[in-house]
A and B are shown apart, each in its own frame.
Chain A
Amino acid sequence: MAERYDLAIVGGGPAGQAAALALQGHGLAVAVIDEQPHPGGQILRQPPREFGVTGWMGGKVYAALRRQLGQFEALSGLDWLGGRSVLGLSRSSDASFVLTLSGRSGVETLRARRVLLATGCQDLAVPLPGWTLPGVYAAGGIQAFVKSQQIVPGKRIVLAGTHPLQLLIADQIVAAGASVSAVMFAQSRQAMARLLAESPLVAARQASALLPAGAAMARLRRRGVPVRFGESLLGIVGGERVEGVRSSAGETACDAVGLCYGFVPQSALPRMAGAGMRAAGPAGGWAAECDAWQRTSVAGLYAAGETTGVAGAAAAQCAGRIAGAGIALDLGLLAPGAAERRVAGVRRAHAKHLKFAALLDRIADPTGHFPVMAPSTIVCRCEAVRLADLVSCLDGRSANAVKLASRCGMGPCQGRNCEPTLLRLLGDRADPGFSARFPARPVMLGDLAAPE
């Protein structure tokens, strides 16, 4: 790794790869940083190089993403900085950005004239009675085990929530040889069908995006996996680990649960940088605001993909290409007309994907389906703050004030898990949530200390 780059891309998923590819040939010094050792993002989280996996992510859904990943991995002249977390970014006196990274070799800093944040999203954490029992996972966490580590963290798994992705995850679990006890959608099937019927054109044009979920459901049905609608989670039961779930339809035995109520942008870095943010959507969270070239409100800082709103990998690829052209434009490598021509088709595709994402947002909307918490339900896992501890200090305060009063959000995750829940409880739409603090990920003191 060098000390200075023209561009640092944070995130090697669909958006980050697309931006790097769009900028190839311009002679820029580019670094791509990712917490995973290999590129792909969560959608194509690669198996370790030591594994031999036949037909990995072979479905047609993933074909375009696999192709782009192949092109990205073949790129020469960019520095792939995998296995590193970005702890923070600041502005140096020469107007470049300073990124603080941590990884196996300790803490490193790099400077970049421009930074593109393509950090993706995370599962929305949804508190309910029993959700802290070992064996309860974010659905995306289970899927990452299946895709990358080639394990299934349970023998009988229940997936529950409101997001159709759980059909694909269940399908992948079954294909891997484990058993899915049930897939539970909190919303009714009729409500989902009605939303599709309300947007027939969007649905029809994006049939290819809907088909996999439908095909997955058909396969699950054939294998006898119950896919049930209008079934709300009431609680997860077990002694020291998951033994089953209680739902509106009764009890289902299982040894693992995947919660799938939607996704929220990874927003720590744009918030730390002071970029303008907006409420991300029905699942909650904060999205970085950008203009038509993916510029944030902070000069030189760009964002693309799900950092700017959860809209799927195809939309992220488009946004990455637009960001690449925008960065080339701003660096004087492309004339305005040429930049616009380069992305004209991409913009049309992007708009189409965003329309579909908006439809999916409505279908998957967890609002109104969040499980009912008990007073003893833990809202902040890091600090073990219960709902009852919070209720006494909600009286019209800001999220930051509740944090100070209750410790909610004071732990190692910096409130990434509990913030959406707290903001729902506060119900103040103007509350910007917790102040973003350094470091975005925990880091060893000894790695940060000045040399002796």
Chain B
Amino acid sequence: MRKADVLIVGGGLVGCATAWHLARGGAQVTLLEAGDIGMGASGQNAGSLHFQLERRFLENGEALAEQAARTAALSRLAIDDWRGLEAELGADLHVVMDGGLMVAETAEQVGVLERKIARENAEGLATRLLDGDEARAIAPYLSAGILAAGFSGDEGHADARAVTRAFAEAAAHAGAILRMRSPVTSARRLDRGFEIACADETLQGDRLVIACGAWTAQICARLNLHMPLFPVALLMNATERTAKGLRHLVQHVGRRLSMKQTHAGNILIGGGWPARLAQAPDGTFDPRRRPEMIAASLAGNMRAAIDTAPFVAKLNLIRSWTGVTAISADQLPIVGEVPSMPGCWVAGGGSAFTLGPTFARLMAQAMGGRAAPELDIVSPARFEHLNSFMG
């Protein structure tokens, strides 16, 4: 029986980054990944660094918008984390933070932008409102139909494929053991600590971190815990390479759109358009199987992109792909120690590219005994009522 200080389930960005922080702090860490490193949402997402309030938080009522705005403290930390990440990891992650625009095409959308920016500013985020001409002055590719844009000078993008890989390499270098192709076959709580098994090894650890995206709720269930994280399937698209012309992260306040140009020159287009989750024969969702593309999502996403930046209409789409991520019952991430199960940490629920390095750093900090109050807003404590029946 091998023992570790911390066992981590999930070789995505958060798992690998947590392993790195803990290992370089001297902890013995073993990470189990069911497939290859970074092949879930960490490798499938399009690499947005978005610090403005997301559209999904703005269209589901004032209470959610207000609550989401309070995650701005995390965004402020994430901005600093991202600015230092390439130097800290010694890797070229193609981090570009030249600013991001969240555009509006109607008067109503401009109103939403104004309220959003007021909220952000109140929380200490330096976003500002540009009118259409101001927006086009810094982003000449924007359509004449853009009436206004929220601008954050810190937004941008990074190479999602490279980031998780760099964290994994750094973690291994710091002494963490990363086991690929090792799906968890059992997980249980011991009197002190946890025991996790995969096909050929059983491991014990004082602490457990569950950070396996769409599978997080399933691993929690093995520990008799409810974790209200739900798999959702999203569509992403890549154009052929084209000359550099789109410097910013471009999002839309009223339509599902996120758009950026990669280091190689491809334009990645997404923004939360749904794909169809595969179902297992028993009718439950099966996040392992590739979700099916929905034609209307593709058509709608392309239209939103063209209406925002008309030049993309002439580019060829070379790849659409679907990926699975997890969202929580209240849309906010769930990150932190489970109050009813001390030593068990959970991280999941979206925004985990932009905020992932910060989540990992703060979790490692808190495990090391230095409080991380910034995580309170996303703590799993808010769902403890579900586990009050779980014994």
Contact = CB atoms under 8 A, between A and B. Distances in A.
Direct contact between A and B in the complex (CB less than 8 angstroms)? yes
B319 interface: yes
Interface stretch (A124-132, A327-335, A433-441): A433-441
A397 interface: yes
A401 B42 CA distance: 12
B383 interface: no
Interface string B306-328: 11000011111111110000000
A449 B312 CA distance: 11
Interface string B288-319: 00101101101110110111000011111111
B165 interface: yes
B38 interface: yes
B318 A442 contact: yes
Contacts of A444: 313-317
B293 A405 contact: no
A200 B305 CA distance: 63
A439 to B, nearest CB: 6
B161 interface: yes
Contact of B317 (A396, A411, A448): A448
A448 B36 contact: no
A401 B300 contact: no
A450 B161 contact: no
Interface in A203-217: none
B345 to A, nearest CB: 26
B133 to A, nearest CB: 23
Contact of A100 (B238, B240, B295): B295
Given A401-B37, A405-B161, A438-B293, A445 B305 contact: yes
Interface residues of A, number: 32
B331 interface: no
Interface in B342-385: none
B302 A445 contact: yes
B299 A450 contact: yes
A398 interface: yes
A436 to B, nearest CB: 9
B299 A448 contact: yes
A442 B296 CA distance: 18
A124 B5 CA distance: 51
Nearest to A88: B293
Interface in A424-438: 435, 437-438
A77 interface: no
Contact of A443 (B38, B293, B316): B316
A446 B314 contact: yes
Contacts of A437: 319-321
Residue from A88, A401, A443 having most chain B Cβ neighbours under 10 A: A401
Contact of A445 (B296, B315, B319): B315
B239 interface: yes
Given A449-B303, A450-B296, A414 B314 contact: no
A73 B35 CA distance: 50
B39 A401 contact: yes
Contacts of B280: none
B107 to A, nearest CB: 19
Contact of B313 (A410, A411, A438, A449): A449
Interface string A99-142: 01000000001000000000000000000000000000000000
B321 A98 contact: no
B317 to A, nearest CB: 5
B284 to A, nearest CB: 19
A443 B319 CA distance: 9
A404 B39 contact: yes
A452 interface: yes
A410 to B, nearest CB: 7
A400 interface: yes
Interface residues of B, number: 37
A446 B295 CA distance: 14
Scoring A411, A443, A446 by chain B CB atoms within 10 A of each residue's CB, the highest score goes to: A446
A439 B318 CA distance: 6
B43 interface: yes
Contacts of B302: 445-446, 448-450
A283 to B, nearest CB: 25
B180 interface: yes
Contacts of B181: 396
A90 B295 contact: yes
Contacts of B341: none
B264 A407 contact: yes
A445 B314 contact: yes
Given A404-B39, A443-B316, A450-B303, A435 B264 contact: no
B303 A404 contact: no
B35 A448 contact: no
Contacts of B316: 412, 442-445
A383 interface: yes
B317 A443 contact: yes
A410 B312 contact: no
Given A397-B36, A445-B314, A449-B313, A410 B43 contact: no
A449 B303 CA distance: 5
B305 to A, nearest CB: 7
Nearest to A412: B318
A411 B239 CA distance: 9
A90 B180 CA distance: 33
B306 A446 contact: yes
Contacts of A442: 240, 316-318
A401 B317 contact: no
B295 to A, nearest CB: 7
Nearest to A384: B264
Nearest to A401: B36
Contacts of A98: 295
Nearest to B302: A449
A48 B292 CA distance: 39
A271 B238 CA distance: 20
- Which of A405, A450, A451 has the most chain B CB atoms inside 10 A of its CB? A450
A90 B313 CA distance: 24
B161 A449 contact: no
Nearest to B305: A445
Interface in B243-294: 264, 290, 292-293
Contact of B165 (A405, A412, A448, A449): A405
A98 B303 CA distance: 21
Contacts of A412: 240, 316, 318
B319 A448 contact: no
A450 B312 contact: no
A281 B317 CA distance: 31
Interface in A59-115: 88, 90, 98, 100, 109
Given A410-B319, A439-B320, A445-B239, 20 more contacts: A88-B293, A100-B295, A396-B181, A397-B36, A398-B35, A401-B37, A401-B38, A404-B161, A412-B318, A435-B290, A438-B319, A438-B320, A439-B318, A442-B316, A442-B317, A444-B313, A444-B317, A445-B315, A445-B316, A446-B302
18 contacts: A90-B293, A100-B295, A383-B264, A396-B181, A397-B36, A398-B39, A400-B36, A401-B39, A414-B318, A435-B321, A438-B293, A439-B318, A442-B317, A443-B317, A449-B305, A449-B306, A450-B303, A452-B307
Interface of A: 88, 90, 98, 100, 109, 383, 396-398, 400-401, 404-405, 407, 410-412, 414, 435, 437-439, 442-446, 448-452
CB-based closest 9 A-B pairs: A446-B313, A401-B36, A450-B299, A449-B302, A442-B316, A449-B303, A450-B303, A412-B318, A438-B320
